[in-house]
Amino acid sequence: MSDVADRQNYNLRDEIKAYWSERAATFDLSPGHEIFSDEERAAWHQLFLKHLGPGDVRSALDLASGTGVISHLLDDLGFKVQGLDWAEPMLERAREKARKRGRPIGFALGDAENTMEPDGHYDVIVNRHLVWTLVDPAAAFAEWLRVLKPGGTLLIVDGDFVNTTALERLYSKLSAWGQRVGLFKAETPTGTPQMMATHRAILSRVHFSGGARAEAVVELLRETGFADLVIDRDLREIHRTQARNWNVFKGLARQCQHRYAIRATKP
């Protein structure tokens, strides 16, 4: 790879890190990020039990762990959890949350595309809303395969946040209109217009700039060496419980999105 390409990749990755560092302050205010009800927590538990089984003190790596939302769900189920994130402000909040809740979860600074973790160390790797941000997903998937034990399981929860359906766009417009006229409560702001512009700029330059479709992610995982690949599009219970925190049209828009869980195994 040329020096120019190296600099471009470094700049983009650095920009991604800076963006999520800034987002840390408001991350837990957003439904879809933090868990806001026991019903939603139970829905996530069911998804993880379906694809991972009970924890039984097995080792789990939560990649791009943010403020530790997924780490806490895994800890609930009896996994021995290590969170990894490369945004220090996220880690500070994750550690404080774990301390207040008395959770034995470790959180460390690290890059999801180059974890520096030992070979064959984890029974389970989980990440949520990470894949769409990857600069080099093939390299990241190879890294995740390396740190999994033989027979270990990878669970990805992600979506295509680029391509929208006509129905989703209609619901989003109705949601925005209802907030403008005072019919619906205004959503809690989670970032400045500048941050929203930065988000769009990042999204336009990552590998899945055209949208992280489940089939494309699965094909890349298969090429990397993962086996027994399963796409689970039935996240309706999670979305239903999240929708209680939004107006009716925002909730309907969420249900129209291309969101999924992918399970894969290291042979």
pLDDT at 194: 86
* Number of domains comprising the chain: 1
Q: What average pLDDT does the segment 130-145 reach? A: 96
Exposure b/e, 3-30, CB count within 10 A at least 16 = b: eeeeeeeeebbeebbebbbbbbeebbeb
Of 20, 8, 18, 251, give the one whose Cα is nearest residue 130.
20
Q: Whole-prediction pTM value?
A: 0.92
Decide if pLDDT at 2 tops 50. no
Decide if pLDDT at 11 tops 80. no
CATH of the domain at 200: 3.40.50.150
Characterize the bridge pairing of strands 122-128 and 59-63. parallel
Decide if pLDDT at 250 tops 50. yes
Tens digits of residue pLDDT in 92-127: 999 999 999 999 999 999 999 999 999 999 999 999
Q: What average pLDDT does the segment 31-59 reach? A: 97
Give the C-alpha distances (Å, rounded to integers) separating 185 from 31, 191, 193. Answer: 14, 18, 20
Decide if pLDDT at 4 tops 90. no
Decide if pLDDT at 128 tops 70. yes
The share of the chain scoring above pLDDT 90, in percent, equals 80
Domain residues for the domain of 222 are 3-265
Decide if pLDDT at 233 tops 50. yes
Decide if pLDDT at 190 tops 90. no
